[in-house]
Amino acid sequence: MRQTSTAPRNNKLKPSSNLIMNGSVRVRVIRTLLAIQNGKSLASVLDPLLNSMHDGDRGFAHALLLTTLRQWYALSRLLDTLADNPIDEVEVRTTIQVGLVQLLYLEVADHAAIHETVEAAKEIEFAHATGLINAILRKVAKNPSKFRKKCDKKHSLPNWLAYQLKQDWSEEYDDLMQGLRQPAPMFLRVNTAVTSIEDYQQALVEFEVEADLVELTSGLQLENSSDTATSNSILTKGLRLHQSTAVNALPQFAEGAASVQDMHAQLAAPLIHSALLNKLSIKNDDADVDTDTNTNNNEIRILDACAAPGGKLAHWLELISSNESSLFHVKQDNAETSPVISKVKITAIDNEAPRIERIHTNLQRLNLSQHDLQQAEKNIELNIVCADATTWQGAGKKKSKLVFDAILLDSPCTATGVIRRHPDISLLRTEEDVEQTALLQADILHNLWPQLKVGGYLLYVTCSILKQENVEQMQDFMTYYNNVVAVEFSDDCSWGIEQAIGRQCLPIDSESGDGFYYALLQKTAE
């Protein structure tokens, strides 16, 4: 999934905001925060920060950085009430906010938090502000519970985003504002082509890693052979760790037994896979299956658009690999199974070479590369392409553009649903980004939809919680095309909030997944 990234509009940052990994732990965290304010993503600066530390300092540095980002706007508003005059220097404001986090959220001893933060100001060459920094931190240290309550009282988002979320989610707004400030739980997806989820949960116990089984039920009203809709129930299982754990501490992780993937993200592959199986099981559906005139072999073609870093693609490959017989042998009305598919051709695209490399790396770990599939004698052909989803044509030079039986579109978005995991998003995004992203989403949809076969399905997914990118995008799309129907989710869905089209998950519950939106569309005619 590609994320929009835009630097905050701030002209007061000085060259000292460049990422220089030396000095004390607090100095390095401050410099990292300055780099983020200057447009760097957390993903690009976190590893350099942690890799520059001694082992004993990494945990504190990580907590200090992430907590400061999560509480950024609340701390900034608190700081404005603590200072007699406006503080315009970004370096000074950042240093004070790092000090406030230590006092209010990390329970660092007063003298250590104040002294080390003042010394950090000297190291970044802002000694002229040490008196101000010392005074503000000492004032807060006298009554931290009072100032913690003030800080927690309201949201910690830019005002434009908080306003939009209140417009979109008025009933859930208060809980959502608090939920976005909390760390997200860590979930695992077990590779069922390798082991069962129950066996892997037991293996975690032997590694002294505690985890709970999480089950999500999805109900889809899918068309059947009688042209009526029947409920199709899908059970998705994952594991939620009691505490986040380094992947090298997980059993058989390097061998591909499990992947780190948010629980709500784990819904994508089962949804589109179930829709594809339903399409193949409909009586007299052979007209929708291409026939190779040279070999007389039937094939199905599927597309994962905007596929990086490859988690949903890997999950879909796992489902195809572990349920190969159900995909290649579809039950007919005579209760017998007959071979209707000889090969599955999967295309995955993304528009940046480094992101394509991440897909290859992740699939290799999971033993799902094209070489691995061939070695396992799977009838699966995987093609990973670096291409722009707004213009790419899967048919190439063929006359017919009707190529794919199913499309998974993990659409670019502002990623507001994963702020818990990537708190830098609230600093990097702007109101203008939402409009630009919605236009990009529409361009991709308009390019891919003509490439979907009649009767085929497109699953639209985002990790946004803004309706403009989600249900409103779908409403605009369905207004434009007259050959599309939205597949309804049935009442037995155990996740998300029903929308006019699709369902929306919100990151409110500290034990549940991130903010994801899902809409399943079916093509009815050319």
pLDDT tens track for 453-491: 999 999 999 999 999 999 999 999 999 999 999 999 998
**Of 373 and 351, the one with more pLDDT:** 351
Q: Answer yes or no: is 145 within a domain.
A: yes
Q: What is the CATH number of the domain that holds 108?
A: 1.10.940.10
In this prediction, residue 365 carries a pLDDT of 95
Domain that holds residue 464: 263-281+296-523
328 and 470: one domain? yes
Closest C-alpha among 93, 91, 64, 89 to residue 76: 93
Q: Which two tokens stand for residue 457?
A: 């399905």
Catalytic residue among 151, 413, 463, 505: 463
Asked if 211 and 169 touch (Cβ cutoff 8 Å), the reply is no
Is the confidence at residue 161, as pLDDT, over 90?
yes
For a pLDDT cut of 70, what percent of the chain falls above it?
A: 88
In this prediction, residue 15 carries a pLDDT of 39
Of 220-224, 354-358, 381-385, 399-403, the one with minimum mean pLDDT is: 399-403
In this prediction, residue 402 carries a pLDDT of 83
Active site residue 413: no
Q: What is the mean pLDDT of residues 234-245?
A: 96
Q: What is the CATH number of the domain that holds 269?
A: 3.40.50.150
Q: Report how far residue 453's alpha carbon sits from residue 293's, in angstroms, rounded to the nearest whole number.
A: 19
Question: How does residue 1 score in pLDDT terms, banded at 50, 70 and 90?
Answer: very low
Residue where a domain stops, chosen among 108, 133, 154: 154
Q: Report how far residue 484's alpha carbon sits from residue 514's, in angstroms, rounded to the nearest whole number.
A: 28
**SS3 (DSSP) at 131:** helix
**Total domains present in the chain:** 2
In this prediction, residue 324 carries a pLDDT of 57
496 and 371: one domain? yes
Q: Answer yes or no: is 479 within a domain.
A: yes
In this prediction, residue 291 carries a pLDDT of 41
Pairing mode, strands 329-331 and 484-487: unpaired
Is the confidence at residue 14, as pLDDT, over 50?
no
Q: Answer yes or no: is 255 within a domain.
A: no
135 and 267: one domain? no
**Of 507 and 377, the one with more pLDDT:** 507
Q: Answer yes or no: is 186 within a domain.
A: no
Distance of CA 244 to CAs 70, 102, 146, 414, Å? Answer: 17, 21, 30, 25
CB atoms within 10 A of CB 351: 18
Q: Answer yes or no: is 191 within a domain.
A: no
285 is in an annotated binding site: no
Closest C-alpha among 74, 97, 295, 288 to residue 182: 74
307 is in an annotated binding site: yes
In this prediction, residue 280 carries a pLDDT of 85
505 is in an annotated binding site: no
Q: Answer yes or no: is 178 within a domain.
A: no
Asked if 58 and 28 touch (Cβ cutoff 8 Å), the reply is no
CB neighbour list of residue 84: distance below 8 Å, 6 or more residues apart: none
Is the confidence at residue 7, as pLDDT, over 50?
no
Residue where a domain stops, chosen among 132, 154, 176: 154
For a pLDDT cut of 90, what percent of the chain falls above it?
A: 78
CB neighbour list of residue 209: distance below 8 Å, 6 or more residues apart: 241, 245, 249, 250
Q: Answer yes or no: is 471 within a domain.
A: yes
443 is in an annotated binding site: no
Residue where a domain stops, chosen among 154, 187, 221: 154
310 is in an annotated binding site: yes
140 and 277: one domain? no
Average pLDDT across the chain, whole number: 89
493 is in an annotated binding site: no
DSSP state of 413: B
Question: How does residue 167 score in pLDDT terms, banded at 50, 70 and 90?
Answer: very high
Residue 313 half-sphere exposure, CB side, CA atoms within 13 Å?
Answer: 34
pLDDT tens track for 19-49: 556 789 999 999 999 999 999 999 999 999 9
Q: Report how far residue 131's alpha carbon sits from residue 125's, in angstroms, rounded to the nearest whole number.
A: 14
In this prediction, residue 223 carries a pLDDT of 80
pLDDT tens track for 46-76: 999 999 999 899 999 999 999 999 999 999 9
**SS3 (DSSP) at 25:** helix
Q: Answer yes or no: is 442 within a domain.
A: yes
